[in-house]
Amino acid sequence: MAIGVEKMYESPTPTVVEFIGRAGNYFWEFENFGLTFPGYYALYMTAYMNRFGATEEDFCKVAVKNHYYGSINPKAQFYGLRITVDQCLKSRYVAWPIKLYDSSPITDGAAAVILASEDLARKITDTPVWIRSVGVATGTANLSKRPDFIGLDAAYQAAEQAFKRIGIEHKDTWKYFDVADVHDCFTIAEVMAYEDLGFVERGMGIQLVRNEQTYKGGLIPVNLDGGLKAKGHPIGATGTSMAVEMTKQLRQGVEPRDRQADIYTGWALAHNVGGTGHYAYVTIYSLDKNGSPRVKPKR
Amino acid sequence: MVMSLEAKYEEFWRQSIKQLNEVVKATGLPIAPDEKGQYSLWYDVREMRLRFSISVERIKRFFDGLREGKVYATKCRRCGRYYFPPQADCPYCRASDMDWVEVGGEGELLTYTVINTKPLTYSHYPDYVVAIARMREGFNVLAWLRVDDPKRVRVGMRVRLQVVRREPEGYLTYEFVPVEQ
Ligand SMILES: [Zn+2]
């Protein structure tokens, strides 16, 4: 059994900001310039907005989607709480252009999965979910050493490895997966994930948001559990909770059905990031033990 | 100036500990509500004061530079790669054969943010702009950008690197200032 647990909700916010901030590049970015985690992602959001003409309103739509799904997930921190674009736009800045409602909250949480060999898995369940591929890569600790600020190279490289192992190209990958969970610690992180994972090309992630193509029924449903944004981000439990969600989705056991993705190919993807892209994992799950994913039917 | 900030922190801690002692005296336990007033927290009675010490021995030249009003990068003598923040070793050449070169000064702003929710140890500063610029030599630098109005900051604007004394702590560091067009 793999268990992820975190308890941080009752800690005072300035203390949490201090300790998470110190998890970046300590000397050159925190000690001297007081960079916070929202600040790190804000540097990406500013660059992305400038490069691709995205707006704060566009990013708020990610928050609205994830809150919608969180509101119908009884295990979510914000169960029962929906938000509007307007509420998001009016929320206070944490690290301009990132606002409170662009940010995942401080959360308590836990998740567990049973990892088993093929023999044992067949004994304990009729519907095992296979871990078909894992990609992992690291990025620079120092943000200024990265060549650009419109995507996370570690996530891109992790995806590249993961896709290679199951024999698919790192391009238009939305068509192979029924559902995905991505590391939306901030709304910009979700949009960059769409692109790092090759669902769409660089710069097109924001179009997926505008056209509501990452809701259930869209090109690729993302974070139907509410994501880090609304399910909550208990740091040590977040990765395991994605494994739980992808397993439930593929086995079509999600309640209520409004957040159960339609399962066509039987493949799902989880994307998890540590630090600010210091490292990233892409894990691919399938109901099939062998073979490559088929393409989703046109609808 | 240094004393005033320290005195402020001392006073803050003194008050907190005094309050805690009163709570212990009155209730027999160091338990009080959290800042949201929702949950009971046990406030540690074993105080640990911690300041990290970080070795800068091999990049001491950088800090000598700040005292001369200069910002230095390192440049590998073998492959010509620049390093900023400066490092004493080139991982590509697996060598420690570095020149110390002064950063030319001008750069183009790649991105920026304004830190509104600050870490505890930065809570005494007004909101600050953190920016990354691509310097003329081709490497990036991350630092505060000194501007009166953050609304006037633009990606692509030209900035210059300068050595400043960070107050109220009073130590030397570097920051960007806009280049007047
Ligand atoms: Zn070299």
pLDDT in tens, B149-162: 999 999 999 999 99
CA–CA dist B98, B78 (Å, integer): 8
Give the H/E segment covering residue A130: strand A130-138
**Residue A203 is part of a domain; what is its CATH number?**
3.40.47.10
Measured distance between the N- and C-terminal CA atoms of chain B, rounded to whole angstroms? 35
| CA separation for the pair A180, A246 (Å, rounded) | 7
A17 touching chain B per CB within 8 A: yes
Interface membership of A150 toward B (CB under 8 Å): no
Cβ pair A34:B115 closer than 8 A: yes
Residue A35 has pLDDT above 80, yes or no: yes
**Residue A297 placed within a domain:** no
* Contact across the interface for A14 and B120, Cβ inside 8 Å: yes
* pLDDT of res. A22: 81
The Cβ-side half-sphere exposure at B33, using a 13 Å CA radius, reads 4
Q: Percentage of residues in chain A with pLDDT exceeding 70? A: 100
Mark yes or no for CB contact A43/B113 under 8 Å.
yes
pLDDT tens-digit readout, A152-194? 999 999 999 999 999 999 999 999 999 999 999 999 999 999 9
Inter-chain touch B119–A30, beta carbons under 8 Å: yes
For A95-141, the pLDDT digits (tens) are 999 999 999 999 999 999 999 999 999 999 999 999 999 999 999 98
Top residue of A35, A49, A59, A102 to mutate, by most chain B CBs within 10 Å, is: A35
Q: Please tell me the distance between residue B158's alpha carbon and the centre of ligand 1 in angstroms.
A: 29
* pLDDT at B30 > cutoff 80: yes
- The distance of A119 to chain B (nearest Cα, Å) reads 45
Q: Which of A76, A82, A67 is nearest to A109 (CA)?
A: A76
Q: Cβ of A32 under 8 Å from any chain B Cβ? A: yes
In the CATH scheme, what is the code of domain B105-181? Answer: 2.40.50.840
The structural domain count of chain A equals 1
Tell whether the model's pLDDT for residue B44 goes beyond 90.
no
Most confident among A262-266, A293-297, B31-35, B122-126 (mean pLDDT)? A262-266
| Contact state of B116 with A94 under an 8 Å Cβ cutoff | yes
Residue B2 has pLDDT above 60, yes or no: no
In this predicted model, what pLDDT tens digit does every residue of A221-244 receive, in sequence order? 999 999 999 999 999 999 999 999
pLDDT, tens digit, 9 for 90 and up, residues B64-108: 999 999 999 999 999 999 999 999 999 999 999 999 999 987 999
Average pLDDT, chain A: 95
Q: How confident is the model at residue A58 (pLDDT cuts 50, 70, 90)?
A: very high
Q: Which is nearest to A37 in space by CA: A194, A205, A228?
A: A228
Interchain contact A29–B (C-beta under 8 A): yes
Q: Quickly count helices (H) and strands (E) in chain B.
A: 2, 10
- The pLDDT of residue B1 is 45
pLDDT at A210 over 70: yes
Q: Is residue A291 part of a domain?
A: no
State mean pLDDT over A35-45.
Answer: 96
**Contact by Cβ (8 Å): A245, A261:** no
Rounded Cα distance, B138 and B175, in Å: 18
Give chain A positions within 8 Å (CB) of B172. none
Helical pair A56-71 and A187-196, crossing angle rounded to 10 deg: 90
Of A17, A28, A47, Cβ closest to residue B119: A17
Indicate yes or no: CB of A33 within 8 angstroms of CB of B112. no
Give this complex's ipTM. Answer: 0.93
Contacts of B132 in chain A (CB under 8 A): 43, 143-144, 149
pLDDT tier, A299 (very low <50, low <70, confident <90, very high otherwise): low
pLDDT, residue B181, reads 65
Q: Mutate which of B31, B71, B115 to test chain A, going by most A C-beta atoms within 10 A?
A: B115
Dist. CA B24–CA B45, nearest whole Å: 10
Q: Do A18 and B120 touch (CB under 8 A)?
A: yes
| Ligand 1 center–CA B99 separation, angstroms | 11
- Closest-CA residue to A62 (of A40, A91, A83): A83
What are the extents of the domains in chain B? 55-102, 105-181
With bands split at pLDDT 50, 70 and 90, how would you rate the model's confidence at A47? very high
Ligand 1 centroid from CA A145, angstroms: 16
- Mean of the pLDDT values across residues B132-138? 96
Q: If you measure from the C-alpha of residue B63 to the centroid of ligand 1, how many angstroms do you get, rounded to a whole number? A: 22
- Show residues of chain B in contact with A12, CB under 8 Å: 34-35
As a whole number of angstroms, the distance between CA A13 and CA A153 comes to 30
Mean pLDDT for all residues in chain B: 92
User: Which structural domain range is residue A235 located in?
Assistant: 2-286
Whether A43 sits inside 8 A of B84 (CB atoms) is no
Mean pLDDT calculated for residue range A15-20: 82
Q: How far is A154 from A274, CA to CA, in rounded Å?
A: 10
**B17: Cβ contacts below 8 Å, ≥ 6 apart:** B47
A-chain residues near B117 (CB < 8 A): 13, 17, 36, 38, 94-95
A48, pLDDT greater than 50: yes
Tell me how far the alpha carbon of residue A27 lies from the centroid of ligand 1, in angstroms: 23
3-state secondary structure of A103: strand
Could you say which of B34, B112, B113 has the minimum Cβ distance to residue A12? B34
User: Cα of B96 to ligand 1 centre, how many Å?
Assistant: 8
Q: CB pairs below 8 Å between A and B: how many?
A: 109
* Residue A100: closest C-alpha in chain B: B117
Residue B34 pLDDT more than 90?
Answer: no
E strand or H helix that includes residue B83: strand B82-83
